[in-house]
Amino acid sequence: MIDKKIIQDLRKNYKLKSLDQKDVLENPYEQFTVWFEETLNSHLPEPNAMILATATKDGKPSVRTLLLKGYDENGFIFYTNYESRKGKELATNKNASILFFWPELERQIRLEGTVEKIPQEESEKYFNTRPYKSRIGAWASNQSEVIENRFYIVKKFLKYFVKFHSKDIPLPQYWGGYVLKPDTFEFWQGRANRLHDRVRYKLENKIWKIERLSP
């Protein structure tokens, strides 16, 4: 065990930038684009990595990291196995949350809203852009199911590699995209002495209300 004092003493004094209600754009999607472009221009590793939180019907949460694959004013898109843990949870509880954390910029963005599947043709279009072996991997993995060992999944991968070798790989029926439609955005900018800047957008009667939150 690591001494808890060592962990307690891990801290950083944030001081790169500031954030105020008067500085943000009226539309949270446009504000997201401003920050995301800065992230891309900073050449950070995996700038589109995000943490997705889902919950069971009775409210038991689970989280995991995955990749944003697109967004517009209809919401934020990601892809996965519909029969995975998150897929099963989303089938019974549409509420979800996404977190983007960019420590190098001392920033994070939280999104809250509901999730729905995107049309199959959109999932198929994206699936066909994936690397060949990633598409095979989608067929080989029954995501979140218990398996005996790594050899089991490698064997399945090789099975589908032979089956689809030099052929078009069809979209598995159990694989596709989701879109999270936010009703809340929160933009967080780290500041000195833990007096962080937090600006929240909340959708009320189809209008985005902008508020500052206490750190």
Nearest to 20 by CA among 214, 194, 201, 198: 198
Nearest to 180 by CA among 102, 103, 66: 66
Give per-residue burial for 103-118: e unless 16+ CB within 10 Å, then b: eebbbbbbbbbebeeb
Give CA angle at 47 (15, 102), nearest 5°. 25
- Six-digit token pair at 139? 């067929």
121 vs 64: CA distance, rounded Å: 26
Identify whether the C-beta of residue 27 lies closer than 8 Å to the C-beta of residue 211.
no
Phi/psi for 56 (5° steps) reads: -70, 175
* Of 194, 198, 200, 212, catalytic: 194
Neighbours of 207 (CB within 10 A): 8
Known active-site residue 85: no
Return the CA Rg of the chain: 20
CA angle 180, 111, 24 (to 5 degrees): 125
The catalytic site residues sit at: 194
